[in-house]
Amino acid sequence: MHFKLIGQVPKFDPSRPLQCGHVNSPELTSMMKGNQYTAREAEVPWMVALLYARNHLYFAGGSLIAPDVVLTATSITEKLNEDQLVVRAGEWDLLTKQEQGKHEDVPIRKIVRHIAFNRTTGANNVALLFLKRPLDLTHHINLICLPPSNRNFIYNRCIVSGWGKKNLEDNAYMNVQKKIYVPLVDRSSCQRQLKGFLGASFHLDNSLMCAGGEIGKDSCKGDGGSPLACPLQSDPYRYEQVGIVNYGLGCGSAVPAVYTDVSKMRPWIDYQIQENAFAYQQLNAEDGEKLRSEYLRNL
């Protein structure tokens, strides 16, 4: 696959305020021609790649929810310790260093996994990676917003991103970041469809949600931990992360894929960040209360 880059990513302007959840417009990204399922460089600035520390090979995804905190899944981190992982932010093409926005690799200080994770059902499949240093936020490295328990989204324009396989039978993961539009699917419809394949006793846990079900448009192997983000009805250019890639029946089938419901995990996420985030703890300095409220508004 060949891509043509057009234009340049402008330098970060500190006078222009950054807000969580904004996809970058074509004017702020490198334009490319290629597969319709790939993102432009810097288009999805909250997306991070999880790499093995020993060889820097990609194996899973995550999202930046605070300058020093990545949201991902327990299922893809449970057999690894902090020294075995590296977070890469600002990445687009895994096989080149020629991007106009430089990526940053940061080691992990602490991994916190949900103690109620159930590998059989996929319940509570969420984890937080606390970085050894906060990332500097720019237009190609930025935060994704997290939703409250009730939010009105544009349900048919949600995006799942990552570097996982396009098709299950592919030999390798994608090198250029994917961005695929998928619709959210209501719980009753999803459970009914999954029961048809997994048996009448199947129950979709309350911590889970569904999206997809359109042929050829799906997350796939290697996308575990990656974000599912939806635009707000009140501001369609601003996204909040509603899901975390969890599991599915193959890739790109007519049956929806299952995601961890971020709104259901929000109390756990907030508690763990207040207990463990370095950046949060540093907000006890001057202007601490003001900074703390601004920091938490980005979560």
Do 89 and 118 have their domain in common? yes
Average pLDDT, the chain: 83
Do 195 and 256 have their domain in common? yes
What range does the domain containing 97 cover?
34-144+265-297
Q: What is the CATH number of the domain that holds 127?
A: 2.40.10.10
Do 119 and 183 have their domain in common? no
- Count the neighbouring beta carbons within 10 Å of the beta carbon of residue 81: 10
Note the pLDDT of residue 139: 86
CA dist., res. 48 & res. 37, Å (int): 18
Do 246 and 186 have their domain in common? yes
13 falls within a domain: no
Do 86 and 119 have their domain in common? yes
- Count the neighbouring beta carbons within 10 Å of the beta carbon of residue 22: 19
How many folded domains does the chain comprise? 2
Note the pLDDT of residue 23: 82
Note the pLDDT of residue 8: 35
pLDDT in tens, 77-112: 999 999 999 999 999 988 877 777 789 999 999 999
Side by side, the strands of the sheet bearing 158-162 are 178-182, 158-162, 227-231, 239-247, 256-261, 208-212, 184-185
Do 114 and 169 have their domain in common? no
Do 288 and 196 have their domain in common? no
23 falls within a domain: no
Q: Could you please report the per-residue DSSP string of the chain? A: -----BS-PPPP-TTS---TTBPPPGGGSBB--S-TTBPPBTSSTTEEEEEETTT--EEEEEEEEETTEEEE-GGGTTT--GGGEEEEES-SBTT-S--SS--EEEEEEEEEE-TT--TTT-TT--EEEEESSPPPP-SSS-PPB---SS--B-TT-EEEEESS-SSTT-SS--SBPEEEEE-EE-HHHHHHHHHHHH-TT----TTEEEEE-BTTB---TT-TT-EEEEEBSS-TTBEEEEEEEEE-SSSS-SSEEEEEEHHHHHHHHHHHHHHH-HHHHGGGSTTHHHHHHHHHHT-
Do 248 and 185 have their domain in common? yes
pLDDT in tens, 145-200: 998 866 667 777 899 999 999 888 888 898 899 999 999 999 999 999 999 989 99
Note the pLDDT of residue 18: 67
For residues 111-130, give the mean pLDDT. Answer: 97
Q: Give whole-number Cα distances, 49 to 37, 64, 136, 172, 269, in Å.
A: 18, 10, 17, 15, 20
Contact 166, 220 (CB under 8 A): yes
Note the pLDDT of residue 40: 81
**Percentage of the chain lying above the pLDDT 90 cut:** 55
For residues 107-130, give the mean pLDDT. Answer: 97
Q: Which residues touch 254 (CB under 8 Å, ≥6 apart)?
A: 213, 214, 215
Our CA angle for 106, 108, 114, nearest 5°, is: 135
28 falls within a domain: no
CA dist., res. 125 & res. 114, Å (int): 7
